[in-house]
Amino acid sequence: MKAIQLLDYGFENLRYADAPTPQAGPGEVLLRLAAASVNQIDAGKASGAMRQFMPLTFPWIPGGDFAGTVEAVGAGVTGFEPGAEVYGTVAAGANTPGYGGAYAQYLAVPASAIAAKPASLTLTEAAAVPVAALTAWQALGSVAGLQAGQRILVHAGAGAVGAFAVQLAHQRGAYVIATAAAEDLDFVRFLGADEVLDYQATRFEEAVKAVDVVLDLVGGDTQARSYQVLQPGGLLVASNQPPSPDEAARHQVRAAMVLMQPSATDLAHLAQLFDAGRLRADLARTYPLEQAGLAWQDMARHSPQRGNAPAPAVAAPKKHGKIVLTIN
């Protein structure tokens, strides 16, 4: 099969090459992939910046979420037949710190990590959903237990996770406040935010007080300033930087990290919301699999914090939603 492989740390070591085709083991499903989503974490792992806690074994195939059709099922798998269209995530575990594999024509995954894709979405659209939507779903549900009538501040409300979080929090009946860039305010308001703040023009801690939950999707200084907007006993939920227990205690609030877990049950619930017209997924752009490096450059161009991804040679116009690789 063809796949994107990283031969060593550094973006210059990314190759489109032949790789062994996997087989479905017990409890697994072999998928012929149609599309894979582009996520910041893959670029971070490939750069070497995360090697201390997410070391890679080379050659490494990036990619965390995907959509495709069932090619074969392993022993003990029920509920999936060849030809079924599914979407899901690559499972992470203690023995697979550098998990990936979706930037390829075929992928074998546990049956517990996939579900029937939303009927209302194409395979390309469905590939943009799992990591971002599951992170938002689990952050608001199992971690925060967000209830109707509560107040939540969502940072980066126009981002991949933030856009789903705004929609889901609104549907739970919460009062939703979100930060975003000036050009994204109308989009975030459209998604269901009750208040939107231009993070470049307004210091949110001066405009927001006494919220029950902060969903921090940014980290750094944004996270440090977020403790003070929570009411006593409130909760800060972070996705990409562990919050400080000492800071939480000093402000008399709680703090937790959301670590997205592959879940067929959660994916099925999300599919119902999409098919009922209660959730929307946006695609910014698509690239063919062999142009994964260009897709990473595009992602870096439109990320509020570029991190370790390379700056693009040409700046493409901004569109909301995920960048997706299409796989032939």
Distance CA 23, CA 271 (A): 27
Query: Alpha carbon 77 to chain centroid distance?
Result: 27
Architecture of the CATH domain 2-129+281-326: Alpha-Beta Complex (3.90)
> What is the per-residue pLDDT for 53?
75
- What is the pLDDT, as a whole number, of residue 91? 65
Distance in angstroms (rounded) separating the CA atoms of residues 221 and 32: 42
Paired tokens of 220: 């750094």
Query: Other C-beta atoms within 10 Å of 52: how many?
Result: 7
Residue 217 CB neighbours (<10 A): 27
Confidence at residue 95, expressed as pLDDT on a 0 to 100 scale = 41
pLDDT in tens, 82-134: 999 999 999 654 344 567 999 999 999 999 999 999 999 999 999 999 999 99
pLDDT (average), residues 59-73: 97
- Predicted TM-score (pTM) of the model is 0.92
Q: Would you state the pLDDT for residue 318?
A: 55
| 59 preceded by a cis bond (ω within 30 of 0) | yes
> H or E stretch including 247?
helix 245-250
CATH fold of 131-257: Rossmann fold (3.40.50)
186-218 confidence digits (pLDDT tens): 999 999 999 999 999 999 999 999 999 999 999
Query: Can you tell me the distance from the alpha carbon of 110 to that of 202, in angstroms, rounded to the nearest whole number?
Result: 45
pLDDT, tens digit (0-9, with 9 covering 90-100), for 218-247: 999 999 999 999 999 999 999 988 999 999
Please report, for the chain, the start and end positions of each structural domain, with discontinuous segments joined by +. Answer: 2-129+281-326, 131-257
What confidence score (pLDDT) does residue 234 get? 98
Per-residue pLDDT band for 306 (boundaries 50, 70, 90) equals very low
What does the pLDDT read at residue 303?
A: 65
Q: Is the pLDDT of residue 308 over 90?
A: no
Contact 182, 127 (CB under 8 A): no
Where is pLDDT greater, at 112 or 310?
112
Q: How far is CA 28 from CA 33, 75, 77, 99, 193, in A?
A: 15, 8, 7, 16, 39
Averaged confidence pLDDT in the chain? 92
Among 195-199, 257-261, 301-305, name the most confident range.
195-199
The CA-based dihedral angle spanning residues 222, 228, 230, 236, taken in that order and rounded to the nearest 10 degrees:
40
Proportion of the chain above pLDDT 70, given as a percent: 92
Q: Which residues contact 322 (CB under 8 A, 6 or more apart)?
A: 37, 38, 128, 132, 160, 281, 282, 283, 284
